[in-house]
């Protein structure tokens, strides 16, 4: 047994995401914990703050309640990812190692292919804590329960018959915390000055008690004038690396940037036309996403749970429910202060190393902002349900869906920027700025690693662009963008991805990800140069009510 563990530990650097839940946390007696100094250097500190002087006393009191609720969502995510937070952290004596474990919400390095960095832990279970560690995919497929693929259920061993499985709803598994979260949201609703936000908070409280989020999602889409916003609950399914079925808890607290939001509003009107003109066969664009699209900019003042683990989100496109998207649309929230931090601290230093000097003037924040904004817009476009009766593309593509969907949003977002520019409607940037900044952003996101859907999506795109000649690598180790070739490659890639999603072609997605969703030697050598230069991989937040002066 010990020999087997040593072999496992020796190949962890090659492990991305395990293929079934049969792997579990495994104790090892002869491995020293790695030093963490170099790991902490991967993260740049950034203080999440904004001006709240325009908020009333009621709104500030309401914020304190939202912080409490968000912290409970954070606690639930710990349970979903590794287990009880305090018990886990108390077992780590080294303060720096413990801090690194807090950033990663566990003992696995989320930005280094889930390599364990704490003594005694083996590979991360592919299904995290959503499924029994010893459950096989075959056992799950045999399990006859219509709720087993729900976003909001845990799969557990039957207490009486260990070889059988059972479903436990989130509101039952986390009842103490979800009931308290609901109570806090109801109290906050009483302080909310915007009627739409007050209604959303009440409905979200009810959703936390029932695991039925449809009405609260619809209400969230209807809000237009609220200055304070909240995203909370089980939302994204990245953490479920086994099937991609289970949503993880998270929360964002947001303050609206009214001036920037007004600048973005005009683009929403063009989205139905953009959907109709997608460069794919008609059957892959027959869906008509809801037209009630909301583009807004915010300063985010708190991240909790899934969105706070390792790599940080800088924009939001929600709700994820396909029914809501088709009936009403989505909201696209640009997190301006977090986006600026990543641009200044990460993207610009990468560009100075890897983009050819005569194109570096095209690395601009407006281009980074607009690329990110249209990425989120693109999530709501394309196709959500397969054309051949396989159900939602999310379920048909299983654990590969997140990487494919992120790839779609990236490339379709660039296409939207180009189309609107050609129409004379998008004039905020020089189009070359968007393309060169897009290329530099690939290097930024690839560094998230193969365990990240965003990292994998960027690997797929980098290798596709390389094959199509969309860029060249110069003798000095920098890269030059050929905008015309990249335009052609982008169109071809849109067709490839939308067809894969519309067909629900899991085998094609699996083959593509396994073949090209990897960092090849030349790219790795260039990324090593970035790492050696000390460029952070991501940011870690100094955040909380104290930062805003609320306590």
The tens digit of pLDDT for each residue in 274-284 reads: 899 999 999 99
Question: Considering the domain boundaries, does residue 259 fall inside one?
Answer: no
Chain segment 289-334, per-residue pLDDT in tens: 665 667 889 999 999 999 999 999 998 889 999 889 888 888 889 9
Q: What is d(CA 461, CA 472) in angstroms, rounded to the nearest whole number?
A: 14
Tell me the C-alpha distance between 19 and 536, whole Å: 30
Mean pLDDT value of segment 176-200? 98
Range in 263-272, 303-312, 322-331, 408-417 the model is least confident about: 263-272
| pLDDT-based confidence at residue 32 (cuts at 50, 70, 90) | very low
7 pLDDT above the threshold of 90: no
Quick one: pLDDT at residue 236?
Answer: 96
Q: For the CA atoms of 177, 179, 182, 188, what is the dihedral angle to 10 degrees?
A: -80
Estimate to the nearest angstrom the gap between the alpha carbon of 8 and the chain centroid. Answer: 29
Q: Does any domain span residue 52?
A: no
Q: Please report the pLDDT score of residue 30 as a whole number.
A: 34
**Rounded Cα distance, 512 and 505, in Å:** 11
Q: Is residue 498 part of a domain?
A: yes
* 362-397 confidence digits (pLDDT tens): 999 999 999 988 887 888 889 999 999 999 999 999
**What does the pLDDT read at residue 173?**
98
Asked if residue 3 has pLDDT above 60, the reply is no
For residue 153, what pLDDT is reported?
A: 98
- Looking at 127, 151, 173, the residue that finishes a domain is 173
Work out the mean pLDDT of the chain and round it to a whole number: 89
pLDDT category of residue 35 using cuts at 50, 70 and 90: low
CB 404 within 8 Å of CB 397: yes
Which band of pLDDT confidence, cut at 50, 70 and 90, is reported for residue 24? Answer: very low
Q: Where is pLDDT greater, at 428 or 11?
A: 428
Residue 502 has pLDDT above 90, yes or no: yes
Is the residue at 517 inside a domain?
yes
Q: Does some domain include residue 443? A: yes
Does 15 score more than 60 pLDDT?
no
Q: Of all residues in the chain, what percent carry a pLDDT higher than 90?
A: 74
Is residue 33 within 8 A of residue 9, CB to CB? The reply is: no
Predicted pLDDT at 126: 95
As for how many domains the chain has, the answer is 2
Q: Which of the four pLDDT bands, split at 50, 70 and 90, describes residue 52? A: very high
Tell me how far apart the alpha carbons of residues 197 and 220 are, in angstroms, rounded to a whole number: 8
Question: 546 burial class (0-12, 13-18, 19+ CB within 10 angstroms)?
Answer: exposed
Quick check: is 327 in a domain? no
Q: How confident is the model at residue 37 (pLDDT cuts 50, 70, 90)?
A: low
In a domain, 454, yes or no: yes
Owning domain of residue 487: 341-538
Q: Residue 414's closest CA among 386, 377, 468, 360?
A: 377
Cβ-proximal residues to 292 (8 Å cutoff; 6+ apart), any chain: 221, 222, 328, 329
- What is the DSSP code (8-state) at residue 13? G
User: What does the alpha-carbon distance between residue 320 and residue 306 come to, in Å, rounded to a whole number?
Assistant: 15
106-137 residue pLDDT tens = 999 998 889 999 999 999 999 999 999 999 99
Q: What is the predicted pLDDT for the residue at 293?
A: 65
**Would you say residue 43 lies in a domain?**
no
Is residue 6 pLDDT above 70, yes or no?
A: no
Give the per-residue pLDDT at 526: 94
Q: Which of 26-30, 302-306, 437-441 has the lowest mean pLDDT?
A: 26-30
Tokens 């609950």 sit on residue: 233
Q: Tens digits of per-residue pLDDT, 208-249? A: 999 999 999 999 998 888 999 999 999 999 999 999 999 999
**For residue 25, what pLDDT band results from cuts at 50, 70 and 90?**
very low
Banded pLDDT at 2 (limits 50, 70, 90):
very low
Residue 539: per-residue pLDDT:
96
Q: Which of these, 421, 523, 418, lies nearest to 464 by C-alpha position?
A: 523
Report residue 418's pLDDT band, with 50, 70 and 90 as the boundaries: very high
Residue 172 corresponds to which tokens in the numbers above? Answer: 């039952």
* 156, 168 contact by CB (below 8 A): yes
Out of 116, 148, 173, a domain closes at 173
> Which of 376, 364, 288, 359 lies closest to 325 in space, CA to CA?
288
The torsion region of residue 260 among left (phi > 0), alpha (psi -120 to 50) and beta comes to alpha
Q: Which of 158, 173, 188 is the C-terminal boundary of a domain?
A: 173
């Amino acid at each position: 047994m010990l020999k087997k563990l040593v072999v496992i530990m020796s190949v962890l650097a090659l492990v991305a995401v395990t293929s079934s839940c049969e792997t579990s946390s495994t104790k090892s007696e002869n491995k020293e914990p790695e030093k963490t100094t170099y790991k902490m250097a991967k993260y740049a500190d950034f203080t999440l703050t904004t001006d709240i002087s325009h908020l009333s006393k009621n709104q500030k009191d309401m914020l304190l309640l939202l912080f409490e609720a968000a912290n409970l969502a954070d606690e639930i995510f710990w349970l979903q990812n590794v287990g009880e937070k305090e018990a886990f952290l108390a077992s780590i004596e080294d303060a720096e190692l413990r801090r690194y474990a807090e950033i990663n919400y566990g003992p696995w390095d989320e930005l280094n292919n889930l390599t364990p960095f704490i003594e005694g832990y083996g590979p991360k279970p592919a299904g995290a804590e959503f499924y029994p560690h010893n459950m096989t995919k075959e056992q799950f497929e045999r399990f006859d329960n219509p709720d087993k693929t729900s976003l909001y259920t845990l799969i557990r061993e039957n207490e009486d018959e260990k070889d059988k499985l059972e479903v436990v709803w989130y509101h039952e598994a986390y009842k103490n915390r979800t009931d308290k979260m609901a109570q806090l949201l109801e109290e906050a609703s009483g302080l909310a000055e915007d009627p739409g936000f007050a209604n959303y908070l009440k409905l979200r409280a009810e959703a936390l008690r029932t695991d039925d989020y449809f009405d609260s999602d619809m209400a969230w889409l209807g809000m237009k004038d609220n200055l304070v916003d909240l995203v909370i609950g089980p939302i994204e399914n990245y953490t479920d690396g086994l099937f991609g079925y289970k949503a993880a808890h998270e929360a964002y607290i947001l303050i609206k940037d009214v001036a920037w939001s007004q600048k973005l509003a005009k683009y929403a009107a063009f989205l139905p036309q953009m959907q109709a003109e997608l460069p794919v066969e008609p059957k892959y664009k027959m869906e008509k996403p809801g037209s009630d699209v909301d583009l807004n900019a915010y300063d985010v003042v708190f991240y909790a749970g899934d969105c706070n683990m390792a790599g940080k989100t800088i924009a939001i496109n929600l709700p994820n429910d396909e029914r809501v998207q088709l009936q009403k649309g989505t909201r696209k929230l640009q997190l301006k202060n977090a986006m600026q931090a990543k641009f200044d601290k990460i993207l610009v230093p990468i560009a100075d190393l890897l983009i050819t000097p005569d194109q570096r003037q095209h690395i601009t924040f407006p281009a980074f902002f607009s690329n990110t904004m249209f990425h989120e817009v693109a999530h709501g476009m394309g196709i959500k349900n397969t054309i051949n009766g396989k159900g939602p593309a999310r379920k048909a593509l299983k654990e590969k869906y997140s990487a494919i969907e992120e790839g779609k949003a990236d490339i379709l977002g660039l296409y939207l920027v180009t189309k609107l520019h050609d129409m004379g409607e998008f004039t905020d940037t020089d189009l070359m700025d968007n393309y060169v900044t897009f290329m530099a952003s690939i290097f930024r996101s690839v560094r998230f690693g193969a365990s990240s859907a965003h990292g994998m999506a960027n690997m797929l795109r980098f290798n596709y662009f390389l094959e199509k000649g969309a860029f060249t690598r110069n003798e000095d180790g920098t890269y030059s963008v050929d905008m015309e070739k990249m335009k052609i490659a982008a169109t071809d890639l849109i067709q490839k991805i939308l067809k894969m999603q519309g067909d629900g072609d899991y085998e094609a997605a699996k083959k593509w990800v396994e073949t090209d969703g990897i960092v090849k030697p030349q790219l790795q050598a260039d990324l090593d140069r970035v790492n050696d230069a000390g460029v952070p991989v991501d940011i870690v937040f100094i955040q909380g009510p104290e930062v805003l002066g609320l306590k």
